[in-house]
């Protein structure tokens, strides 16, 4: 039976408010963490620039972060949340038994992984950054190995923190897990400021470990408040096998995604192709790219997974499709102008934020080049987060793996083609193009799986949003040429104020155009009815 139009509108408005509230909490707290992350990066950039210490730390820090997605956050999102959501909805008395079981399994796996990582650190670094072996600086490779050994235990801490996050998210509690990463950044900032001169890049490594401890500890209290208690593990519980079936394809999908990261890392280590400082340029540009991705894309995807899971468990596929359409349209409203802004203002943003100390004009040039091409893939990366979670909620972790496999192959091919003419920008452009193909494949596959996804409404919103964002981009371009370019000799604070003013003016143009074009999602943002 077809639902009445007024019921569908009431459901969409209720869902919009719930998701907006949950995503807003996550987004604001993630924004706080990312701002602290920028302060952290300023500390690193001022202390190390794009030199040997910076490159060695970036590679060594990337290794546990990569594995975190493989065994930590990936598991929590793909396997844990849908299974625990079903247990909470239908078998609540078994909920904490399942949590305890997964905890014991994860601890055993992580202990073995950390031991192997410490023992085989030279081989891991050689695999991820082979160019370090032939670097003009003989200290680069051994330094990266030592830092990797210090940092590897971080994977144990952050993966347990990710498990706690998955449990709390299944219970629709998002605050503590979203704020936790800020503690990591605070520890790294303090370590970089007070101990960098004494311990060099190892100060940052010890700051990472301290942040991991605090991040895990910060989630203990809300878990206890929700009723957490250790129970006797039930390794033969059917849900354990179900988690395994969901986890293995997700782990493979994460591995394929990390191949993209590894390809960029490996190719960026060859100075003869991309120039010096490629590793650091990728890191700093990716940090800027990750801000809107985290505040909008990851925040909304984290908030929406429990809703998707509950709708899938209860067989409410029509509601799931409405929620998906609403999420994609709302996401585009925020992400498209952010993408255009990064394209137009990539150079002044990098210059004003990072150019200080050993981070010189050459560092700004290569980092802004990487950011410029990253920005074209921002919307696709955000859409991927939402579309993949729709598959996860329906216990389908295989389809995202297939789409990712195609994207990985495309990224490798495009990287090899584009890196010579575009240098570091070729690697980030390849990432953006492959992400766009990935998003398209996921959308097509989901449509085949559950039927039409309100394409006309989504496309109509996208066209209007794109038109408003292009007007905003034109205004930002003129402002950059007329104002920012005329105040290059001003103080850093003065340039920052001019940049902030330009961003606010560009946003005013965007919202004015959006209201003139009667974009529905913007009306819902400002008006309750």
Considering only residues 192 and 31, tell me which one the structure prediction assigns the higher pLDDT. Answer: 192
Spatial CA neighbour of 461 closest among 419, 522, 399, 525: 522
CA pair distance 380, 258, nearest whole angstrom: 17
Question: 249-296, pLDDT tens digit by residue?
Answer: 666 766 676 677 777 777 777 665 666 677 778 878 888 888 888 778
H helix runs in 49-174, sequence order: 52-68, 74-75, 81-90, 95-119, 121-128, 140-151, 154-170
Tell me what pLDDT residue 15 has.
54
Check residue 5 and give its pLDDT.
46
User: Tens of pLDDT along 232-246?
Assistant: 877 777 777 777 776
Token readout for 135 is 């670097």
Long-range contacts at 107-113 (CB < 8 A, ≥ 24 apart): 107/160, 109/71, 110/71, 110/155, 110/156, 110/159, 110/160, 111/156, 113/67, 113/71, 113/155, 113/156
pLDDT for the residue numbered 79? 66
- Residue 520 structure tokens: 């529905």
pLDDT of residue 20: 61
Measured between alpha carbons, how far is 526 from 280 in angstroms, rounded to an integer? 40
pLDDT for 339 equals 94
Q: Quick check: 45 pLDDT over 50? A: yes
For the four alpha carbons of 210, 213, 217 and 219, in that order, the dihedral sign comes to positive
pLDDT for the residue numbered 439: 95
Give the pLDDT confidence score for residue 353 in this predicted structure: 84
DSSP string for residues in 392-425:
HHTT--HHHHHHHHHHHHHHHHHHHHHHHHHTHH
To 10 degrees, the CA torsion angle through 137, 139, 141, 142? Answer: 170
Q: What percent of the chain is predicted at pLDDT more than 70?
A: 86
Q: Answer yes or no: is pLDDT of 333 > 60.
A: yes
**Two structure tokens written together for 432:** 């953006």
pLDDT tens, residue by residue, 119-177: 998 998 888 777 778 776 778 888 889 999 999 888 888 888 888 887 887 777 777 77
pLDDT range class, residue 11, cuts 50, 70, 90? very low
Which tens digit of pLDDT belongs to each residue from 336-361?
999 999 999 999 999 988 887 777 88
For residue 7, what pLDDT is reported? 42
Structure tokens at 47: 């202390």
Count of CB atoms within 10 A of residue 460's CB? 14
């Amino acid at each position: 039976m077809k639902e009445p139009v007024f019921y569908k509108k009431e459901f969409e408005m209720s869902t919009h408010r719930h998701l907006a509230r949950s995503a807003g909490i996550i987004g604001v707290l993630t924004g706080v963490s990312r701002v602290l992350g920028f302060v952290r990066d300023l500390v690193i950039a001022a202390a190390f620039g794009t030199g040997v210490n910076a490159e060695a730390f970036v590679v060594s820090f990337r290794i546990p972060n990569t594995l975190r997605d493989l065994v930590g956050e990936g598991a929590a999102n793909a396997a844990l949340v849908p299974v625990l959501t079903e247990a909470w909805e239908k078998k609540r008395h078994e909920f904490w038994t399942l949590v305890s079981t997964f905890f014991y399994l994860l601890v055993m796996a992580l202990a073995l992984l950390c031991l192997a990582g410490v023992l085989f650190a030279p081989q891991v670094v050689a695999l991820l950054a082979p160019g370090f072996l032939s670097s003009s600086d003989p200290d680069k490779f051994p330094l990266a190995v030592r830092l990797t050994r210090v940092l590897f235990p971080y994977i144990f801490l952050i993966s347990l923190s990710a498990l706690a996050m998955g449990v709390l998210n299944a219970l629709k509690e998002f605050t503590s897990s979203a704020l936790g990463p800020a503690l990591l950044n605070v520890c790294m900032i303090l370590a970089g400021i007070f101990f960098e001169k004494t311990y060099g890049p190892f100060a940052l490594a010890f700051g990472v470990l301290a942040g991991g401890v605090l991040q895990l500890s910060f989630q203990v209290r809300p878990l206890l408040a929700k009723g957490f208690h250790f129970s006797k593990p039930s390794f033969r519980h059917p849900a354990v096998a179900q988690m395994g079936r969901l986890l293995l394809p997700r782990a493979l999908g994460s591995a394929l995604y990390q191949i993209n990261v590894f390809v960029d890392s490996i190719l960026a280590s060859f100075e003869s192709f991309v120039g010096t400082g490629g590793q650091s340029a990728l890191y700093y540009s990716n940090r800027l790219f990750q801000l809107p991705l985290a505040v909008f894309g990851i925040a909304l995807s984290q908030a929406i997974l429990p809703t998707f899971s509950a709708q899938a468990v209860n067989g409410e596929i029509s509601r799931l499709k409405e929620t998906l359409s609403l999420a994609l349209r709302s996401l585009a409203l925020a992400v498209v102008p952010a993408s255009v802004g990064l394209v137009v203002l990539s150079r002044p943003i990098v210059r004003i934020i990072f150019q200080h100390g050993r981070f010189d004009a050459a560092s700004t040039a290569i980092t802004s080049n990487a950011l410029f091409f990253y920005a074209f893939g921002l919307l696709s990366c955000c859409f991927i987060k939402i579309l993949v979670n729709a598959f996860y909620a329906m216990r389908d972790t295989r389809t995202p793996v297939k789409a990712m496999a195609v994207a990985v192959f495309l990224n490798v091919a495009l990287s090899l083609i584009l890196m010579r003419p575009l240098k570091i920008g070729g690697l980030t452009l390849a990432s953006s193009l492959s992400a766009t193909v990935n998003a398209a494949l996921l959308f097509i596959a989901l449509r085949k799986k559950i039927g039409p996804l309100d394409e006309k409404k989504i496309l109509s919103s996208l066209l209007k949003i794109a038109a408003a964002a292009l007007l905003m981009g034109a205004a930002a371009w003129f402002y950059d040429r007329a104002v920012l370019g005329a105040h290059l000799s001003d103080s850093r604070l003065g340039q920052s104020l001019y940049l902030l003013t330009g961003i606010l003016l560009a946003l005013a143009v965007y919202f004015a155009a959006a209201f003139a074009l009667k974009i529905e999602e913007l009306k819902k943002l400002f008006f309750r009815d």
